[in-house]
Structure 1
Amino acid sequence: MTVAVGETVYNEGKAPCSGLGLTWSDDDLDAAMKGPVVAILFDDVGKADIEDILTGLAETEFEQEGLRRVLADPDDIEDWRIGEAIAETYLTDHRDCYFPWPDGRDERKRGSSLPGADLVGLHNDGQGNCLAFGEVKTSSEDKHPPGAMHGRTGLKQQLEDLRDNVSIRDDLVKYLGFRAKGAKWIHLFQQAAQRYLRNNSDVQLYGFLVRDVEPHKNDLRARVKKLAEDCPGGTRIELLALYLPKGRIEGIGKAAVAARAGGAS
């Protein structure tokens, strides 16, 4: 099942940097939350791998209970994590991206925030695979653009850093490379890495806003224009703003946990 592509409400810019505003209906969001978004949010694939490794070792009921505890879903999820899961699912389904190593697997404790790009993976641009890095912000602020665009940790600065700072990109290449050894997707990484070694600006960058306010092109307009200026040759940037129905962001994490546990949606 793929998530809805959404209805386009505005377009901004052109290569090397473009912006797109999209809307989802309640039905679109509900369908996504019941399927692929929740699967990514709770890392069902990763947990299945752990279960496969450990099941044979849990021989007693006490040990089996311990395994169930280790693999249990969290009892609380921040709303912004839903935004990241929506962004990852959308880019996978509609931008031919592949993010093989979920960010959450690198947390040393639940709720921690890790440095680096929110999304690190690969994108097939029709000429093969290249590296893809994405930053995601979730905001209900009724302001265009929202405050999440600005500041040291805002989307503006994060995308500029990915565009301009080779050392940041190099670290992300190593991050993915460490995890590629022995993986089924190593050939995809090798193809993308070869392109990067030829031109360290040959990357696809995504900025993704998840909102639940009225759509407005000012969310992306200025940033699209600025990111296109002096953009290194080979770098492609796309900004997307996905507008959910009004009021759906607050509490969406708790709703996902409740639905997963079989409670009210």
Structure 2
Amino acid sequence: MGEDSAVGGVAPRISQGIEVYGGTDGAVSWSGVELTADVMRELAAGPWAERVGDLDASRDLVTELRSLATTDMETQFISTLLESEPEPLPWQVGEALAEVLLENWHGALWVWDGARDRRTRKASLPGADLVGLCVADGSARLLFGEVKSSSQAASPPGVMTGSDGMIEQLKRLAGKDDHLTLMKWLRSRCLTAEHKAAYHTAAGRWVKSRGADIQLFGCLVRDTVPEPKDLSDRAAVLAKTVVEPMHALLTAWYLPVAMKTWPKHVGVLDVG
């Protein structure tokens, strides 16, 4: 097995959005990207909905439950439950979109669907929003990140600032306090030979750099007009903490549909 195949294949491609601003400050880069109507149609046709609802697992569950129903009343019971399943919340849909776009455009490799870890549909799991591997140039690095969704008119929106804002969360991820916990979570979910090889490569880089060689992603999902101030000033703050060999990418994706409609836009409830 060559090095490239050992650290993961190429993800299915989604058409690129339109980059409307960007910049670099040391080891931190940032960009604002408009998602066109064509890109939105591609996403809604499959990968976005799949990531929101873990549809393969949902279909398997529904098929199994229906096979266990032996009477009309039991079948109706299952159908009623499916019809009453609540929509995911907009922030969950935004998080799933970030995962899909990072996979397609920035070399992210997800070894597990986070939707499977939710105990309830509306649960917010503790820890980093994004935990995976970043695959590029025949190698892999640990990937940690945060996702925020906002329709607030202010630039930057409140989710980017303050002690609970994205930048402070990324600064904490740049430290080493939570790395072992996140790596333990990730390692236990690397179930294929490909994922195990990629994890081994990434963990080796982490050890050799004494915890510094990682990739951070900060993702802002918006339904507003693109505004460079959403990221530029915040990137300058983050650049004081993130230095080589660590890297961070801040990305704002601007959607042409209102945030409150995102769950309906992906239609994740149709599991057959």
What range describes the TM-score normalised by the shorter chain of this pair?
Answer: 0.7 to 0.9
1:174 lines up with 2:184 in the alignment: yes
* TM alignment of 1:60-209, pairs within 5 A: 61=70, 74-164=85-175, 166-181=176-191, 185-199=195-209, 200-209=211-220
Residue aligning to 2:240: 229
8 Å contact from structure 2 (residues 18, 36) kept in 1: no
1:27 lines up with 2:41 in the alignment: no
Shift of 1:233: 3.3
The whole-number CA distance in structure 2 between the counterparts of 1:258 and 1:233 is: 40
Distance verdict in 2 for CA 1:25–1:235, change over 3 Å: same
Greater shift, 253-262 or 75-84, is seen at 253-262
CA-to-partner distance for each residue in 1:75-123, whole Å, 9 max, x for gaps?
3111111111111110100111111212221122221111111111111
Structure 2: which 5+ residue stretches go unaligned? 1-11
- Partner AA of 1:171 in structure 2: T
Greater shift, 25-34 or 182-191, is seen at 182-191
The whole-number CA distance in structure 2 between the counterparts of 1:140 and 1:106 is: 27
Greater shift, 2-11 or 70-79, is seen at 70-79
The whole-number CA distance in structure 1 between the counterparts of 2:262 and 2:173 is: 29
The whole-number CA distance in structure 1 between the counterparts of 2:194 and 2:82 is: 23
- Partner AA of 2:93 in structure 1: I
The whole-number CA distance in structure 2 between the counterparts of 1:65 and 1:185 is: 41
The whole-number CA distance in structure 1 between the counterparts of 2:83 and 2:190 is: 27
TM-score, structure 2 normalization: 0.83
SS at match of 2:200: helix
Number of residue-to-residue matches in the alignment: 258
The whole-number CA distance in structure 2 between the counterparts of 1:160 and 1:73 is: 40
Distance verdict in 2 for CA 1:230–1:160, change over 3 Å: closer
Residue aligning to 2:263: 253
8 Å contact from structure 1 (residues 12, 220) kept in 2: no
Shift of 1:251: 2.2
8 Å contact from structure 1 (residues 19, 221) kept in 2: yes
2:27 to 2, 16, 34: 16
- Partner AA of 1:167 in structure 2: D
8 Å contact from structure 1 (residues 75, 257) kept in 2: no
Greater shift, 191-200 or 61-70, is seen at 61-70
The whole-number CA distance in structure 1 between the counterparts of 2:80 and 2:207 is: 43
The whole-number CA distance in structure 2 between the counterparts of 1:45 and 1:241 is: 29
The whole-number CA distance in structure 1 between the counterparts of 2:149 and 2:178 is: 23
- Partner AA of 1:85 in structure 2: A
Identity of aligned residues (%): 31
Shift of 1:161: 0.8
8 Å contact from structure 1 (residues 207, 239) kept in 2: yes
* TM alignment of 1:236-247, pairs within 5 A: 236-245=247-256, 247=257
Q: CA RMSD, aligned part only?
A: 2.9
The whole-number CA distance in structure 2 between the counterparts of 1:85 and 1:250 is: 15
Distance verdict in 2 for CA 1:26–1:73, change over 3 Å: farther
TM-score, structure 1 normalization: 0.85
Structure 1: which 5+ residue stretches go unaligned? none
8 Å contact from structure 1 (residues 220, 241) kept in 2: yes
- Partner AA of 2:15 in structure 1: A
- Partner AA of 2:199 in structure 1: F
SS at match of 1:180: coil
SS at match of 2:198: helix
Greater shift, 11-20 or 58-67, is seen at 58-67
- Partner AA of 1:41 in structure 2: V
